[in-house]
Structure 1
Amino acid sequence: MQSSVKSTRAVLLYAVLVSSAIPSVPAFAADGEVAASYDITLGGFALAKGNLAVKVEKDAYTARVGYRTAGVGKVMSGARGEAKSTGTLRPDRPVPASYLLEGSGDKKDHHVAMGLAAGSVRDLDVEPPLKDDDERIPVTAAHRRDVLDPLSAILIPIARRDGAAGPEVCGRTLPIYDGWTRYDVRLSYKRTETVTKPGYSGPAVVCAARWIPVSGHKPDRAGTRFMAENRNLEMALAPVGDSGLMVPVRIAVETMSGLLVVQADRFQVIAGSHAAR
């Protein structure tokens, strides 16, 4: 169960789960704001609660996420935490400027403070630090360039002139650095479905996902091999009003302990919206 709680934290903050610029697409002119809450289950059992708030003002964004264990997860571990990311939006991807993570659980505290410029890490403070280990793939300076933090990675721009969301939303690879490890999440189109949640009713684009380790990991670990070979990962994305941005309404990941599902139970577009309420 300890590894399951860690997986929950990773999914909430990386979400994902887990491109080239498109200069013909206009800048993000419309503002938007969304507040969502999530139930997290493992093998059908309640594991944690999460919340996400994203605000877009012109081409600037602020995103916050929080989580705490619940149900079975609370019995096994009192993990909780929060993260914040800020940056600007390009038509093809976010460009993060700062990322802060504070978390606790498994009798350990976790801290990341990351400053970025033009998508590259300039300042970094992490706790606990990554231990030197001959079995670990080293994180190089090149691995910290042109990256997304885990929270910015779940903000997916709609790269179409008409602002409509289609299969091309999934046609991207997310280069993520969390302060300890560097990995890619490769998305591909799976299907489009209709979702109905308190605060939103409309289409959601479902992307299949692949986790591809780059550095900071131990390649011979069973968990690393399992996730690298895992084909059962997907993320359903819904639009944030007229902001030209999409965020997850559902994330599903097969883990070594069962299927982990992060499911929105409330998805409220607060401003800049033409979506159903």
Structure 2
Amino acid sequence: MSASMLRVCLTAVLALAGAGTALTGAQADGRLEARYRMSIGGLELGRAALIIEIDDKSYVASGSGRLTGVAQAVAPGKGTAGARGTMEHGAPAPRSFAMEAESEKKSEAIRIVMNAVGVTDMRVEPPVNPALDRVPISDKDKKGVLDPMTAALIAVPAAADPFSAKACDRVLSIFDGRQRYDLELSFERVEEVKAEKGYEGPAVVCRIAYRPVSGHRPNRSAVKYMMKNRDMFVWLVPVAGTKVMVPFRAAVATAIGVARLDAESFETEPMVPRRAAPARAGAP
């Protein structure tokens, strides 16, 4: 499997949902540690992990993935990704993103630096191959966007029920260093889910529509297929102690079967703020 395909697998974990709705009121602190199984047509493809920490001022997210089973035997591959940013008016505001992926034949690295307006600096290795039919990425396309990692955080308004359409109804603007695209989420239903370890309870199911903006080659069959694909879904559950939702499960129909991401372990808990140590008796 190529490094670009591994990037797609990682992105499926890290960017099937995103931030876009501002919170109101105070944002609590929470932590998530999750482990996922990636499969296609029921056959295991790989494993992935996601760690997120959120407080009222900042957030940090990191993820990793690796091919396993038959996929690993055919073409070994692994990758990591990470992002950090601030919480502004209760919503994640990205500041940096990094991703690395490698396979037997290719390695890839992406670095993006952002501010409140948009992308300020970036590095993509190897560079994007020039092509006459590739839609150019303009400076405008790099403004008001989310990186793929920050796009794994759904901020639900404080007054809203997190298990409602408010978690889904949004359009996400994402830039991953190579492409600028929108993910349009729409509410489908609420469904009970259960991990082998950790979370058990309701999840909001959102349908996803892929809308490429730039950096893509519109005549490629894969792009056309994804634009027409109406069978892409993500299941969202909250990070404990917060109003932020993250992917628990995802499913995408492909020509060779349904590609899935399933949380086998999903452990989340509020983070207890550190308190100053009590003064010792007789201390000045």
TM-score normalised by length of structure 1: 0.91
Match of 2:240 in 1: 241
Residue 12, structure 1, aligned to residue 10, structure 2: no
Match of 1:179 in 2: 177
User: Aligned-pair distance for 1:75?
Assistant: 1.5
What percent identity do the matched residue pairs reach?
33
Contact 1:79 1:104 (8 Å CA) reproduced = yes
Name the CA shift for 1:259/1:106 in 2 (closer, same or farther; >3 Å). Answer: farther
- What secondary structure, in the 3-state scheme, does the structure 2 residue paired with 1:12 have? helix
Partners of 1:202 and 1:189 lie apart in 2 by 18
User: Aligned-pair distance for 1:79?
Assistant: 1.2
Partners of 1:78 and 1:92 lie apart in 2 by 40
Contact 2:21 2:157 (8 Å CA) reproduced = no
Number of equivalences: 270
Partners of 1:226 and 1:240 lie apart in 2 by 33
Q: Cα deviations across residues 111-165 of structure 1 (Å, max 9, x unaligned)?
A: 0111000150001011111122111000000000000011111110122326643
Name the CA shift for 1:190/1:79 in 2 (closer, same or farther; >3 Å). Answer: same
Name the CA shift for 1:56/1:18 in 2 (closer, same or farther; >3 Å). Answer: closer
Out of 32-41 and 160-169, give the one that drifted further. Answer: 160-169
Match of 1:117 in 2: 115
Partners of 1:58 and 1:258 lie apart in 2 by 41
Out of 178-187 and 52-61, give the one that drifted further. Answer: 52-61
Match of 1:256 in 2: 255
- What secondary structure, in the 3-state scheme, does the structure 1 residue paired with 2:140 have? helix
Alignment partner of 1:128 out of 119, 126, 129: 126
Partners of 2:68 and 2:179 lie apart in 1 by 27
Match of 1:199 in 2: 198
Out of 236-245 and 71-80, give the one that drifted further. Answer: 71-80
TM-score normalised by length of structure 2: 0.89
- What secondary structure, in the 3-state scheme, does the structure 2 residue paired with 1:115 have? strand
Out of 223-232 and 126-135, give the one that drifted further. Answer: 126-135
Matches within 5 A, 1:18-57: 22=22, 25-28=24-27, 30-57=28-55
Larger radius of gyration: 2
* Structure 1: 4+ residue segments shifted above 4 A: 1-6, 17-23, 90-93
User: Aligned-pair distance for 1:89?
Assistant: 2.9
Name the CA shift for 1:160/1:57 in 2 (closer, same or farther; >3 Å). Answer: closer
Contact 1:254 1:260 (8 Å CA) reproduced = yes
Unaligned runs of 5+ in 2: 273-284
Letter in 2 for 1:179: G
Letter in 2 for 1:126: V
Unaligned runs of 5+ in 1: none
- What secondary structure, in the 3-state scheme, does the structure 2 residue paired with 1:195 have? strand
Contact 1:191 1:205 (8 Å CA) reproduced = yes
Q: Cα deviations across residues 71-123 of structure 1 (Å, max 9, x unaligned)?
A: 12212221101000101234674210000111102511110111000150001
